[in-house]
Amino acid sequence: MSSSLSRRELLRSATAGTLGIAVAGSFDAIAGSGVAQAAAEGGTRGVVGYGAVVADPAGVLALPRGFSYSIVAEAGKTLLESGEPTPSDADGTGCFRARDGFVLVNNHEIGGDEPYPVPTLPGLTYDPGARGGTTTIEVDRHGRRVREYVSVAGTHNNCAGGITPWNTWLTCEETEERAGGALLKDHGYVFEVDPFDRAANRDPVPLKFLGRFSHEAVAVDPHTFVIYETEDASGPNGLYFRWVPPKGFRGRKGELRALALREGGDTAGRLQAMSCSKGGKHVADLSRATRPGTTYKVRWVDVPDRDAAKVSVRKQFTDEQVTRARKLEGAWWADGGAYFVSSYARDDDGSVNEHDGQVWFYDPRSETVELKTIFGVNPDPEKDTAYDGPDNITVSPYGGIILAEDGEGVQHLVGVTRRGTSYPLARNEMDDGEFTGPTFSPDGRILFANIQSPGYVFAITGPWRKPGEGEDDHHHGPHGH
């Protein structure tokens, strides 16, 4: 996510493509490019998604008719329990059910001179020289803010992460920075955050067995407790990883921390990188795939030095050993597997083909990855119905997926129906700041999402249902996905 500015510079010089958007696989069919296409095809088609977004008189967030938002937190405006302002750069977010509402754990992707750091409070700080971390926000059942407080401090560039089956949040540092200058410790790790037990977050422990690299997001298999990780990096492009826990791992609160602290904990379990093939031929780059439904066989290659003592993890492999992708971003576990996103690819970053976003699905049963969604290079990023640069991802309890756009021009939360139709769910009315952290409340009534800059956390409510496929289909209702 922190690389979005360089991406925008790339886009301005890129040649526009015409692939459009398509979806296949568990979304049932290959289809076209959303609202604009539906309108062009005339009046025989019904509502796409939840209908067109309506301009916000307040100039903040445009939503479909019948939907509304409230501001849960605002950087520099709302206050933490400790008295400091809500930190800058809200990013990946987890939502957990509580007795009287919900608890959010909110990442803050702070790695530079952002105006509002995460306060380095005693007992909650990993490295007092780092300004990132997480805050925990308690809300009532309507999504109204009750309190916000620091849960982990002194980490660097906390980007996305993921929820564990044992109801904790894994927050990821998107960096490979070593100790030096302001930083007193090495960074590039994953940390676990308990949304309920403040004492469990004291004295933060890096989960070094998950590797030291430019982490983006994770997805955890609730049956095997294997943790899948995306890497947002270039020169060479990043990798998709899995961590296989050691024998006897039972997936309980506190177990990851205990594993990290025990003798030999830095190399507990196995950290492996993905290597794909098709028909026995190695696939070095995920951008090779341009058709939804493209499926590759997967094998996993052990990482030699997961703490990257001398060379970055991704540089420990040749292109013939692993499969790379530019800008590996969001991750989400659903449908018995792990969804993950490649935000874009360009010829000059080493990619085989150019695109403005892929969504992949890894199936651990068949040991395959399948391309579910691809966006062609956006020919007009300033156009309201043109989408590019998917980043964070969530799977909707009503069917399909929701992507947070981090691209050029107008920024949206973009939905994709099970049949493959794309639609806008929200539009940033303020500026071209990226959306981050979309996640539904466990009861499906509230979608929490953020705009990173100037720094808002929103609670979005409305007439949720199965999103319209763009046809005259009135059988709407919740749809498990």
CA-to-CA dists, residue 105 to 97, 200, 301, 347, angstroms: 12, 14, 32, 37
d(CA 232, CA 8): 16
- pLDDT, tens digit, for every residue of 177-190? 999 999 999 999 99
Q: In terms of residues, how long is the chain?
A: 481
**Least confident stretch, 166-180, 224-238, 458-472:** 458-472
Q: Once rounded to an integer, what is the mean pLDDT over residues 320-328? A: 97
For the chain, what percent of residues have pLDDT higher than 90? 83
Q: How many domains, the chain?
A: 1
Mean of the per-residue pLDDT values for the chain? 89
Q: CA nearest 438: which of 409, 382, 479, 400?
A: 400
- On whether residue 162 sits in a domain, the answer given is yes
The boundaries of the domain holding residue 107 are 4-463
Q: Hey, CA dihedral for 423, 409, 2, 284, is it positive or negative? A: positive
According to the model, what pLDDT value does residue 20 have? 36
Confidence of residue 414 (pLDDT cuts 50, 70, 90): very high
Q: How many CB atoms lie within 10 A of CB 172?
A: 32
pLDDT digits (tens, 9 = 90+) for 232-244: 999 999 999 999 9
Q: Is the pLDDT of residue 342 over 50?
A: yes
Residue 1: predicted pLDDT: 58
Residue 137's nearest CA partner among 184, 72, 187, 226 is 72
Q: What is the pLDDT of residue 321?
A: 98
Does residue 4 carry a pLDDT above 70? no
Give the pLDDT score at 19.
Answer: 29
Give the predicted TM-score (pTM) of the model.
0.91
pLDDT category, 384, cuts 50, 70, 90? confident
387, part of any domain: yes
Strand pairing class (401-405; 412-416)? antiparallel
Instruction: Collect all residues with Cβ–Cβ distance below 8 Å to 38 and sequence separation of at least 6.
Output: 45, 48, 421, 470
Buried b (16+ CB within 10 A) or exposed e, 208-223: bbbbbbbbbbbbbbee
Specify if 478 maps to a domain.
no
Query: Which CATH number covers residue 391?
Result: 2.120.10.30
Residue 228: pLDDT above 70?
Answer: yes
Query: How far is the C-alpha of 246 from the C-alpha of 268, rounded, in Å?
Result: 6
State the Cα–Cα distance between residues 275 and 258, nearest whole angstrom.
31
Looking at the domain assignment, is residue 240 inside a domain?
Answer: yes
16 located within any domain:
yes
Mean pLDDT over 24-44 rounds to: 32
Confidence of residue 470 (pLDDT cuts 50, 70, 90): confident
| Residue 353 belongs to some domain of the structure | yes
CB environment 88-124: b (16+ within 10 A), e (fewer) = bbbbbbbbbebeebbbbbbbbbbbeebebbbbbbeeb
Q: Average the pLDDT over 351-357 and give the result.
A: 95
Q: Is the pLDDT of residue 393 over 50?
A: yes
Per-residue pLDDT band at 469 (split at 50, 70, 90): confident
Give the pLDDT score at 13. 32
- Strand 227-231 versus strand 215-220 pairing type: antiparallel
The answer as to whether 452 is a domain residue is yes
Binned at pLDDT 50, 70 and 90, residue 386 comes out as: confident
Query: Is residue 251 predicted with pLDDT exceeding 90?
Result: yes
If phi over 0 gives left and psi between -120 and 50 gives alpha, with beta otherwise, what is residue 188?
Answer: left
* 378 occurs within a structural domain: yes
Mean pLDDT along residues 13-17: 30
Residue % of the chain over a pLDDT of 70: 88
Provide the 3-class DSSP secondary structure of residue 388: coil
| Per-residue model confidence (pLDDT) at position 103 | 98
Q: What tens digit of pLDDT does each residue of 35-93 get? A: 333 333 333 347 889 999 999 999 999 999 999 999 999 999 999 999 999 999 999 99
Instruction: Return d(Cα 134, Cα 459) in angstroms, integer.
Output: 18
Handedness of CA 396, 401, 402, 404 (dihedral sign): positive
Average pLDDT over residues 20-45: 34
pLDDT tens, residue by residue, 426-466:
999 999 999 999 999 999 999 999 999 999 999 999 999 99
